[in-house]
Every structure is written in C-alpha cells, then in structure tokens.
Amino acid sequence: MKIWFKIIIGFIFSYVITGCHSTKQLQTAINTRDTSGTIIKNKDSSLTNIHANTALATLNNNRINFVTFSAKAKVQYEDKNGKQPDFNAFIRMQKDKVIWISISATFLGIEAFRISITPDSLVILNKLDKTIERHPFSYVENIAHIPLNFSLLQDILIGNPVYVGDSIVSFRQTESDIIIGTVGRFFKNLLNLSTANYTLKRMKLDDINLNQNRTAGLSYEGYEKNNNFNFSTFRTITVSEKTKVDIKIEFKQYEFNKDLSFPFNVPRNYKTK
C-alpha cells in the first residue's frame, strides 16, 4: 500500500517543495545575465511590468474554466527504487466540489484504489486490502509539505499554472518563447510560455529557502483545442531534492462539461484504517 500511496500522491503533485524564506536572498540568486533574446532585468521595473504583466494577464485569461472534467490518463512513475508499474488513472471533477480518481494497475487489470477529495475531506478506498481511509483535506497538505487547497489541486490536475508569484523579477523573450521569473511567498517560479498563443510550456519551481535545494520542473506538451480550451495531453513532472522523482502523465481521453456521476460505495466488509 505504501508504494501505491506514494505514487498516487505523486500523481496529484504532492511531492513538490516547501519553505518560506527572505525574498531578498532569492532575488540575489536569480541570474539575469543571459544574453539570448530580449532581456528585461528587474532594474527597470516599469519596463519589466509592462511586458511581463501583459504576458501573465494573457496566460491567466487562457486558464481552463470548467464546470466538469473527466479523463483517462496513463501514468508512469520512477524514483530512486527504479521504474514502478504503470497505472491508469480515471479522473472526474466537478469544479469546487469534488475530485474523483480511480486507479487501475495495468499489470493487474483491475481497479486498485478509488479516491474522493472534497474541499474538506479525503477518502481512500483500497480495493486490494479491502480498507477505507478517511482524512480531513489538511492531510493532503501535510503529506505534500506545500501550501495546498482544493482549488489549487484542481488547477494542478487540469493543467492551469500554479504558484505564479506576484513579484516579477526577470523577463526574457525570444522568437518562440517568453520566459518570466516571479517570486511568491513560498516559491520562485520560472515560467516559459509560447509566443504563438501564450500556452504554458514549462514551469520551474524552486524553494525560497535556498538551503533546502529542492526544485520541481513541469512541462506541458501535446496541446489540443477542446471546448475552446487549450489542453495539454502530455505532461512531465520532475522533482529533485536528495533523490529524483519522475512522473509522466499522458491523457488518452478527456471531456469538459458533461454530466458526471461520482460513485463511491463502501462494501460492508471493508475495514476502517
């Protein structure tokens, strides 16, 4: 159960990074000496804000604002113990109300776990061990060791940008890329956008606390236009600290704004864990 739970939590991006430190330390560590493309250093804050804020505003306007979402995704997970068995994740979401996930191990061909997450609760149905776990939502945040709420978790799963800091410290533009460095309360975030349509290509999150040396990289590829949304169908998450975790998520099927059900029946013979 432990390895599967690690993989599940990893899938919902709970292995990222945490910390809170002085933004002054971070700003002195950011390298703005790259001479490729058009560089706007944070010394000229007015020019930085004009270009960077325009790009960030467009990125924000392109956020996926859904009512319901359903998808089937193939997930690959690798850590210090090597590559773990692939699994399929069936995801259903009703915005601001519930996230429903069914995990099926590809090598078993059966449903192994069913998870229900609401703004105030987490319930895990372990069909392999015939157990049920119930936790407050804060349990997810405690495991993740990052500031996390239900709305943020929705954005992570749907592919919206997260932890975009409110302080812009660098800006660079090339023919194909817009690169913006921001600082928030907990993270510095280096965002890479496409100049063609301002879709998110990559994010690099670094812990504000430089002593932690923790970082996470997220990439978004395979964009498709669906229901007027640009949706990334292939994503990778790489998290590094003392060890490295790699997660690859490939969305095979997905739909927006369809009627959904969220079945979660608990058999009587299941034990509470």
Asked if the model's pLDDT at residue 2 lies above 80, the reply is: no
Residue type, position 13, single letter:
F
* 178, part of any domain: yes
Domain span at residue 245 reads 2-260
Give the dihedral sign, CA 204/149/102/229: negative
CA distance 121 to 112: 20
Tokens of 176: 């194909």
CA distance 205 to 146: 12
Q: pLDDT tens, 172-202?
A: 999 999 999 999 887 889 999 999 999 999 9
- Could you give the number of structural domains in the chain? 1
pTM attached to this predicted model: 0.81
Whose tokens are 């604002």? That residue is 65
* 270, part of any domain: no
* 26, part of any domain: yes
* 265, part of any domain: no
99 to 68, 122, 157, 230, 254: CA distances (angstroms): 10, 10, 10, 21, 15
* 46, part of any domain: yes
* 272, part of any domain: no
CATH code of residue 63: 2.50.20.10
Task: Report DSSP state, residue 86.
Answer: P
Q: pLDDT tens, 222-268?
A: 999 988 889 999 999 888 767 788 889 999 999 999 999 999 999 99
* 174, part of any domain: yes
Tokens of 61: 């306007």
* 247, part of any domain: yes
The DSSP string of 126-156 is ETTTTEEEEEETHHHHHHHTS---HHHHHHH
CA distance 183 to 187: 6
